[in-house]
């Protein structure tokens, strides 16, 4: 077998790994970069409208033959580990003859993103896979593992061919709402793995405290009980674990979680996959504010907005009961409140990666709204990565999805093999 990490050996984001066995080539993930060459934030809007040739020239698209539109396809499949842009965000440039394998949850989320015009990716060649059920692609036998991550229905892959086993961890953690999956794989890991391609997002991030998703719920609950004021909360509509934490905190503190139609739409889409995901019609702790943004308009156009009418809360009603609310922050919602000068006695809970905080901080500072950060990472802490490696006891560990591959040896021992971006590595 041959392994080529086209991108991600030395950075977080833009994940793209190729594995070859005989004539069979597969690609695992095909993500948008999160940083540019200078390690500054990558501007994903900058690629809009550019040709594949141009994007190759700019090295946004890795030099991979037989993958792109307009070329003869040389790939048997693309496997997607999960629905984060840094793992699937470049799919729109791929030859649509190549089937793309993903979990049902991943498919739902990508379909939603596509519906709202966020991906430009042609969805016609999707194949969904079942967890822990091996399937065959060319010379490969692949087994998907459901993992705990901030993306819903995220997977790792055990990939077998030529009597060798590769385990691709994808993004994962041991401290989320599905931490039981982490414990399960520690107690029963796949045996005799030759190469563990493992993410290391948290390596080198000394400042992050080892907080769990349950800590997030507890801390938000305490804050909601402690302060009698209006709360806004900044979080991702696609981070289902976090929406569950916030919803439970609202239930525990007797507050109402006010979401936007886009968030309600996502939750509704996922209800066939899990019955534990809060829904708009679950009663007194959840309402929807029909913020007049482009998502709501899009839903109104295709008549899907109507479904959520029973949970609608108006601006005037929110004003009357403001101290009972936790409003999911969106650009327009906060602007509406600011315009009506209704942000006095308000707190913002910032519940996402703080790299994005500088984007919104000036707004809240200007309106004298204090910000409280309550967050837990979507990625495994170093101690959990160490337990993971110990349980697998692989022949070799290959660093991936990390800015610090050279630090792997310090944490995981001498059987680390650093593979550089683009290097053809014989397995």
Q: Which CB, 242 or 287, lies closer to Zn ion?
A: 242
Kindly indicate which of the ranges 3-11, 86-94, 287-295, 391-399 contains the residues binding Zn ion, using the contact rule CB under 5 A. 86-94
Smallest distance, Å, CB 199 to Zn ion? Answer: 7
Q: According to CB under 5 A, which residues from 376 to 415 bind Zn ion? A: none
Picking from 235, 192, 202, 204, the residue whose alpha carbon sits closest to that of residue 217 is 235
Least separation in angstroms between CB 169 and Zn ion: 11
CB of 155 to Zn ion, least distance (A): 11
Query: Are 422 and 6 in contact, with CB atoms under 8 Å apart?
Result: yes
Residue 196: both structure tokens together: 């563990």
Q: Are 415 and 395 in contact (CB under 8 A)?
A: yes
Residue 229's Cβ-side half-sphere holds a number of Cα atoms within 13 Å equal to 17
Which C-beta is closer to Zn ion: that of 32 or that of 159?
A: 32
Shortest CB 1 distance to Zn ion, Å? 24
CB 239 within 8 A of CB 147: no
**C-alpha to C-alpha distance for 8 and 196, rounded to whole angstroms:** 15
| Candidate ranges 22-30, 44-52, 159-167, 171-179; the one touching Zn ion (CB under 5 A) | 171-179
In whole angstroms, what is the distance from residue 33 CA to residue 25 CA?
Answer: 22
* The only residue of 108, 171, 219, 241 in contact with Zn ion, by rule CB under 5 A: 171
Q: How far is the CB of 57 from Zn ion (least distance, A)?
A: 25
Report 13-72 residues binding Zn ion (CB under 5 A): none
Nearer to Zn ion, 76 or 84 (CB): 84
3-state secondary structure (DSSP) of residue 404: coil
- Specify the stretch interacting with Zn ion by CB under 5 A; choose among 47-55, 78-86, 155-163, 244-252: 78-86
Cα gap 18→5, rounded to integer Å? 6
Task: Output 1 or 155, the one with its CB closest to Zn ion.
Answer: 155
Cα within 13 Å of Cα(201), Cβ side: 19
86 makes contact with Zn ion (CB under 5 A): yes
Binding residue for Zn ion, selected from 76, 84, 177, 178, defined by CB under 5 A: 84
Taking the CA atoms of 371, 223, 267 and 88 in sequence, report the sign of the dihedral they define.
positive
Dihedral of the alpha carbons of 384, 33, 87, 101, in degrees to the nearest 10:
-150
Q: Shortest Cβ distance from residue 108 to Zn ion (Å)?
A: 16
Q: Which is nearer to Zn ion, 139 or 384 (CB)?
A: 384
- The tokens describing 325, both together, are 């609310």
Task: Measure the CA–CA gap between 202 and 248, rounded to whole angstroms.
Answer: 27
Angle at CA of residue 97, ends 427 and 15, nearest 5°? 45
**Closest separation in Å from C-beta 201 to Zn ion:** 7
Q: Which is nearer to Zn ion, 200 or 394 (CB)?
A: 200
Within positions 123 to 152, which residues make up the interface with Zn ion, using CB under 5 A? 151
Residue whose token pair is 């400042």? 207
Q: Which is nearer to Zn ion, 171 or 260 (CB)?
A: 171
Of 84 and 217, the one with the shorter C-beta distance to Zn ion is 84
Q: Which residues between 150 and 169 bind Zn ion (CB under 5 A)?
A: 151
Query: Burial of 174 by CB count in 10 Å (0-12 exposed, 13-18 middle, 19+ buried)?
Result: buried
CB of 288 to Zn ion, least distance (A): 27
Sites of contact with Zn ion (CB under 5 A): 84, 86, 151, 171
């Amino acid at each position: 077998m041959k392994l080529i990490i086209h991108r991600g050996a030395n950075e977080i984001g833009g994940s793209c790994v190729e594995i070859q066995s005989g004539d069979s080539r597969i690609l695992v993930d095909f993500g948008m970069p999160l940083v540019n060459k200078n390690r500054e934030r990558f501007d994903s809007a900058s690629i809009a409208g550019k040709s594949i040739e141009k994007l190759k020239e700019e090295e946004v698209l890795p030099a991979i033959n037989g993958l792109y539109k307009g070329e003869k396809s040389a790939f048997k499949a693309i496997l997607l580990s999960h629905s984060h842009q840094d793992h699937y965000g470049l799919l729109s440039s791929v030859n649509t003859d190549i089937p793309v394998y993903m979990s049902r949850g991943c498919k739902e989320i990508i379909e939603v993103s596509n519906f709202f015009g966020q991906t430009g990716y042609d969805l016609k060649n999707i194949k969904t896979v079942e967890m822990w059920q091996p399937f065959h692609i060319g010379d490969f036998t692949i087994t998907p593992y459901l993992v705990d991550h901030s993306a819903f229905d995220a997977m790792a892959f055990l990939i077998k061919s030529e009597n060798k086993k590769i385990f691709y961890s994808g993004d994962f953690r041991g401290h989320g709402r599905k931490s039981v999956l982490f414990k399960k794989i520690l107690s029963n890991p796949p045996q005799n793995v030759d190469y563990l391609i493992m993410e290391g997002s948290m390596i080198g991030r000394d400042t992050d405290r080892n907080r769990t998703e349950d800590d997030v719920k507890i801390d938000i609950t305490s804050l909601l009980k402690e302060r009698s004021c209006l709360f806004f909360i900044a979080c991702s509509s696609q981070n289902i674990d976090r929406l569950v934490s916030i919803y439970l905190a609202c239930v525990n503190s007797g507050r109402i979680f006010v979401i936007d139609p886009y968030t309600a739409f996502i939750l509704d889409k996922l209800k066939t996959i899990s019955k534990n995901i809060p829904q708009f019609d679950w009663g007194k702790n959840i309402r929807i504010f029909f913020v007049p943004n482009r998502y709501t308009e899009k839903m109104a156009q295709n008549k899907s907005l109507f479904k959520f009418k029973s949970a609608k809360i108006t601006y005037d009603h929110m004003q009357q009961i403001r101290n009972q609310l936790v409003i999911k922050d969106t650009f327009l919602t906060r602007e509406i409140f600011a315009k009506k000068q209704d942000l006095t006695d308000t707190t913002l809970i910032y519940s996402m990666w703080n790299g994005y905080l500088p984007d919104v901080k000036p707004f809240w500072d200007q309106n004298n709204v204090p910000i409280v950060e309550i967050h837990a990472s979507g990625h495994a802490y170093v101690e959990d990565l160490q337990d993971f490696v110990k349980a697998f006891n692989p022949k070799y560990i290959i660093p991936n999805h990390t800015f610090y591959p050279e630090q792997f040896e310090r944490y995981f021992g001498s059987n680390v093999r650093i593979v550089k971006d683009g290097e053809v590595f014989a397995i």
